[in-house]
Amino acid sequence: MADYESIATLHKHIPSFSPYIPVGLLPYLAFVLLTAVFGLAFYFSTLPKTTVPLREVAIASTASLLGGFGVVALFCSAGVYV
C-alpha cells in the first residue's frame, strides 16, 4: 500500500494538464491545415510527370503531414481527443 499512497499523494500535487495550443484555436488550425492539403492535392495533380519525381514526393509528403495534423486538430476540436 505504500506505493499506492505515494502515487495518490503525487497525483494530488501535480498541476493539471494544459495544452500548448489553446482549444479555441483548434477549429481554425484544422481549417487552415486541411485547406492547404486540398490546395497541395490540386497542385500535385497538375504537375507534369517526370522521370525523377522529387518535386512530387516533396509535395505529397507535405500534404500528408498537413493532412495528418489537420485531421487530429479537427477531431480534437470536435471533442474526440486522440
DSSP string for residues in 9-48: HHHHHSPPP--SS-GGGHHHHHHHHHHHHHHHHHHHHTSP
Between CA 49 and CA 71 the distance in angstroms is: 29
Kindly report the pTM of this predicted structure: 0.77
Termini Cα distance of the chain = 33
The C-alpha angle 34, 35, 40, rounded to 5 degrees, equals 95
pLDDT recorded at residue 45: 86
CB proximity list for 50: less than 8 A, separation 6 or greater: 56
Q: pLDDT of the chain along its 82 residues, tens only?
A: 568 888 888 889 998 888 888 999 999 999 999 999 999 999 988 888 877 788 888 999 999 999 999 999 999 999 898 8
pLDDT recorded at residue 1: 57
